[in-house]
Amino acid sequence: MSTILADPPPPIDNTWAVPGIAIPATIAAAVAVYFVVRSVRDSVRTPDDFLIANRRIGPVQNAVALASAPLMYSTLFIITGHIALNGYDAAMLLTAFTTSMVLGVLLFASPIRNLGGYSLGDIFAMRAEERSARRAAAVVTLLIYGMFTIISLAAIAFIFNRWFGLDNVAGLGASVLVVGLVTVLYAYMAGMAGVTRLLVFKAILTLTVVLVLTLLVLAEFNLNIFDILDKAEANRKDVPAGYDLLGPGREFGEGQHRLVHLSKLFCVAVGVAAIPFLFMRNFATTSGKDARRSAGWASMIVVGIYMCMALVGFASVAVLGPERIGVIKAHRDISLPKLVDELGGPVMIGVLAPIALLTIVGVYAALLINAVTCVTKDLNVARGRKPGRADELKDIRRNTLRIGIGSVLVGVAMLPVRTHIFIPTSIDLAGTAILPAVVYALFWRRFNTAGLKWIVYGGTALLFFLVIFSNGVTGPEDAIFPGHDIKFVDIEPGLITVPAGFLLGWLGSISSKERDDAAFAEMQVRALTGGLAPGARKDAARAAAAAAAGGPGGQSPNGAGPNGRGPAPGGPDDHGNQTRTPSEAR
Amino acid sequence: MSSTDSPAGGDRYVAVHGSAGFKTLQRKTNSFLIRASVLFFGWWFIGTSLAAFAPGFFRQEIAGPVNVGLLFMFLTFVVVVTVCASYLRYAANRLDPLTDQVRAELEGEPR
C-alpha cells in the first residue's frame, strides 16, 4: 500500500479496479470536456466574460451547475461509505448539507446577485472602507481557496488509488499533476462560461450515476426499500461505540461526546452556504430573480440526489456485508467502488472512474475562477494596483495560469500530508468570517469597517487557534502529526467560532464611531430591488457591468438581456473600463 | 465610503429606503424569510438535538425497519423542497411586483 495516502492499516487490497478500461475512458472524458469547454471559448472577449460569464448564465444552467457543487468527492464517495459504516448519524450529514442550501436560497442568492458585483470584496466594500474591505475579503477567500485546493488535489490521488488501482508515490504524484494541469487549461480557455459548462456536464453525469446505482440496488432488493434497510441492519459492522445502524448513536455516542457530531452537523449547516466559490456563482446569473430560482431548483435537485445517496449508502452494507465495506474512517471511500464492482462489474467500475475524477475537476475549476476573481477585483485594489485597460483580460488569463500551476505544484507536494482537516476547517472559516459579515452587511445599520475587521481577522485567528488544538492536527492516527498530542478541542471549532464571529462583529462595530446610514440604505435598497439610482458615481462600475449584461442603456444589474444572447460586442467593455477607473482610483 | 461620495445617488437611496413602497416590500420579504427560517432551521435543529440528546425517542420503531429518526430525516428532505418551493412562489407572486414598482421609483429620472 502506498505511503503517499498515509492510509492507516489494515492495507487495502484493491481487487476491483480495472485500469484497462478506466484509463481509455478517462482520456475520452477529458477530450469530451475539452470540446464542451471549447464550445464557449469564442464568447470570452472581455474580463467580464471571463470572470462572470458576462452575467449570461440562465436559471436552468445555473441551477444544474449549483447542484453539482454539493456532489463532490467528500459527499458522493466518503459520505456514502460513512453511511455504510456509521448509518443514521452519517446520513444526518446529508440533511446538514441540504439545510445549508436552504440558507443559500433564503439569504444569499437573490440579494447577492442584486448587488451585482464580482467578488466578496464588492459586498464588503459597500459597508466598509474600500481597501480594508477588499483586503479582508481577499484574505478569507484565498485561505479557503488554498485549503480546498489542497484537499481537492489530494482527492484526485485517492481516486487514482481507489478507482484505478494505482499505488506508487511517483505515479500518484504524476497523475495529480496531469489532472490538475488539464483542469487549469479548462479554466484558462473559457473562464466562468467554460467552468459552468463543465459543471453542468459533471452534474448530468453524476446525477445519472447516482440514479443508475439507485436503480441497481432497488432491483437487487426487488424495489423493496424496507428490505434494504433490514438487510443493512442485519449486516451492520459492529463498531466500538455499539448501537444499531438505523438509529442515532454510532457517531453521537454518549455524554459530552454527543456534542462532537452535533458540532459537525451545525458547522456544515451554517458554513457550506457561505463558501465563496459556491455562492459567487450567483454573480454570473442573468438576474436576482433567476439567481433565486436557480438556487431553489438546485436545492430540490440535491435533495433528490441525497435521498438516493442515503439509500445507496445503506445498500452498500446490505449488499457487501460487514467485512467488505470500508471498516475504518480513512477507508470509507472504498465502499462505493466495491458496491459498483459487485453490482455492475468491471465495465461499470472503469466507466465510473473518469466521472469520479470529474467531480473533483469541477470543484477545482470553480475554485480557480473564484481565486482569479478575488485576485483581480480584491487583491489588486487592496494593494493599490489598477489593471491596465487593454491588457486586463490578458492579465487575468496570466493570473489563471500562475495561480493554477502554482497551486497544482503545492497540491502535489502536500500529497504525503494528511490534510483531510482542511475540509471542515474551510467550512468553519466560511461560517465564521463570511456568514456574520454578510448578514450584518445586509441587515444591520450600525455595521462598519471595524466590525468587518474584527469578524474576519478575529474570527480567523480564533478558528486557527482552536484548529491547531483539535483532532485533525495532533492526536488521532489520521491527524497531520499523529505522533504528538496537544489537542484539547474535541468538537468542531466552528460551533464556537461561528457565534464568536457574530459577537466579534457586534463588538467591533460598536467600538468604532464610524456609521454610514446612506451606505446602509443603499445596501438594503439594492439588495432587495436590484436597482441602481441614476447618477450614483460610486456605482458606475456596476452600472457598466449591467450595461454589458443587459445591453446598451441597461441601467441595472437586473436588467438582464435575454438568455443565450450572443457574445457582447466590444462597446460595453470599453465603456465599462472607462467608468470603472474613477471608482477604483478612490 | 460616505454619502458625500455620490450625492445624487446616495440621496435617492435614502429617499427610497424611507418610502412607503420600500417599507412594505421590506416588511413582506423579511416576515416571510424570518418565518421560513425559524420554522425550517428550528425544525432541523430540534431534530438533530433530539438525535444527539434523546436518541431513545429517535430509535422507536414505526413500521418495519423505519424508526422515528429515519422518518425525521425523510421529512427534513420534504420540508427543504416545500420551503424552497413556497419561497419561490411567494417571491414570484407577492414580492416581485412590489420590487418592480420600487425599482422603477429608484431608477426613474431625477425630479
pLDDT tens-digit series, residues B59-97: 999 999 999 999 999 999 999 999 999 999 999 999 999
Burial class from Cβ neighbours inside 10 Å (0-12, 13-18, 19+) for residue A101 reads buried
In a domain, B11, yes or no: yes
| Confidence category of residue A585, pLDDT binned at 50, 70, 90 | very low
Q: pLDDT band at residue A574, thresholds of 50, 70 and 90?
A: very low
Q: Over 70: is that where the pLDDT of A389 sits?
A: no
The grid cell for A166 is 494505482
Q: Does A539 touch chain B (CB under 8 A)?
A: yes
Kindly tell me if the per-residue pLDDT of A561 is higher than 50: no
**With an 8 Å Cβ cutoff, is B34 touching chain A?**
no
pLDDT at A552: 37
Chain B residues lying within 8 Å of A516, measured CB to CB: 1-3
Contact A248 B51 (CB under 8 A): yes
A381 and chain B in contact, CB less than 8 A: no
Separation CA A136–CA A379 (nearest Å): 9
Nearest to B2 among A266, A299, A516 (CB): A516
pLDDT at A394 over 80: yes
Mean pLDDT of A99-118: 94
Q: How confident is the model at residue A328 (pLDDT cuts 50, 70, 90)?
A: confident
Are residues B103 and A110, on separate chains, in Cβ contact within 8 Å?
no
Mean pLDDT of A137-145: 97
Q: Is the Cβ of B93 closer than 8 Å to some Cβ of chain A? A: no
Polymer length in residues for chain A: 586
Residue of A nearest to B63 (CA): A226
Query: What span, in angstroms and rounded, lies between the C-alpha atoms of A387 and A368?
Result: 19
- Whether B19 is in a domain gets the answer yes
Give the pLDDT confidence score for residue A540 in this predicted structure. 47
pLDDT, tens digit, 9 for 90 and up, residues A526-559:
999 998 888 654 444 444 444 444 433 333 333 3
Query: What ipTM does the predicted assembly reach?
Result: 0.91
Residue A370 near residue A280 (C-beta atoms within 8 A):
yes
Q: Is the pLDDT of residue A576 over 60?
A: no
* Portion 295-324 of A in contact with B at CB < 8 A: 296-297, 299-300, 303, 306-307, 310
Instruction: Please tell me the distance from the alpha carbon of residue A193 to that of residue B22, in angstroms, as a whole number.
Output: 35
CA A407 to chain centre: 16
A70 touches chain B (CB under 8 A): no
pLDDT over 80 (residue A285): yes
| Closest B-chain CA to A303 | B77
Of A327, A331, A333, nearest to A352 by C-alpha is A333
Position with higher pLDDT, A378 vs A582: A378
CA distances to A164, A382, A548, B48, B88 from A116, rounded to whole Å, are 43, 20, 12, 36, 20
**Strand, helix or coil for residue B62:** strand
Query: Is a pLDDT exceeding 80 seen at residue A77?
Result: yes
B84 touches chain A (CB under 8 A): yes
**Which chain B residue lies closest to A529 (C-alpha atoms)?**
B99
State how far the Cα of A382 lies from the Cα of B11, in Å rounded to an integer. 28
Task: Name the average pLDDT for chain A.
Answer: 87
Cβ separation B48–A265 shorter than 8 A: yes
Cβ of A289 and B91 within 8 Å?
Answer: yes
Q: Answer yes or no: do A533 and B107 touch at CB < 8 A.
A: yes
Cβ contact, residue pair B53, A258, below 8 Å: yes
pLDDT in tens, B17-40: 999 999 999 999 999 999 999 999
| Residue B22, in any domain of the structure | yes
For A360-377, write each residue's pLDDT tens digit. Answer: 999 999 999 999 999 988
Residue B110 lies in a domain: no
| Structural domain count of chain B | 1
Tally of CB atoms within 10 A around A47: 28
Determine what percent of chain A falls in helix, strand and coil, rounding each to the nearest 5: 75, 0, 25
Is B6 in contact with A535 (Cβ distance < 8 A)?
yes
In angstroms, the CA A41 to CA A571 distance is: 19
Q: Is the pLDDT of residue A187 over 70?
A: yes
Q: How confident is the model at residue B110 (pLDDT cuts 50, 70, 90)?
A: low
**Cα–Cα distance measured from residue A299 to residue A69, given in angstroms and rounded to the nearest whole number:** 11
Give the closest residue to A411 by CA, choosing from A179, A199, A187, A191.
A179
Cβ distance of A534 and B107 shorter than 8 Å? yes
Best residue in A62, A66, A92 to probe B by mutation, most B CBs within 10 Å?
Answer: A92
pLDDT number for residue A556: 38
Q: Which of A559, A146, A161 is CA-nearest to residue A357?
A: A161
Asked if the Cβ–Cβ distance from B8 to A536 is below 8 Å, we say yes
| Residue A242 pLDDT class (50, 70, 90 cuts) | confident
Please name the residue of chain A whose CA is at the shortest distance from the CA of residue B22: A525
**Segment 2-61 of chain A within 8 Å of chain B by CB:** none
- According to the model, what pLDDT value does residue A6 have? 53
At residue A185 the predicted structure's pLDDT band, cuts being 50, 70 and 90, is very high
Work out the minimum CA distance from B84 to partner chain A, whole angstroms: 5
Give the model's confidence band at A381: pLDDT under 50 very low, under 70 low, under 90 confident, else very high: confident
- Residues A428-467 have pLDDT tens digits of 999 999 999 999 999 999 999 999 999 999 999 999 999 9
Omega cis (within 30) before A10 = yes
- Predicted confidence at residue A148, as pLDDT, reads 95
Across A508-522, average pLDDT: 94
| pLDDT at A167 (0 to 100) | 85
Any domain includes B96: yes
pLDDT range class, residue B109, cuts 50, 70, 90: low
Using a CB-CB cut-off of 8 Å, the residues of chain B touching A98 are 76-77, 80
A157/A174 Cα distance (integer angstroms): 9
> What residues 52-71 of chain B have any CB closer than 8 A to a CB of chain A?
52-53, 55, 58-59, 63-67, 69-70
**B14 min Cα distance to partner chain A (Å):** 5
Give the domain range for residue B15.
3-105
CB contact under 8 A, B51 and A252: yes
- A19-553 falls under which CATH superfamily? Sodium/glucose cotransporter (1.20.1730.10)
Asked if the Cβ–Cβ distance from B99 to A530 is below 8 Å, we say yes
Helical residues (DSSP H) of A430-468, grouped into ranges: 435-443, 449-453, 459-468
Asked if B20 has any chain A CB less than 8 Å from its own CB, the reply is: no
Q: Residue A380 and residue A398: Cα distance in Å, rounded? A: 14
Give the pLDDT band (50/70/90) at residue A259: very high
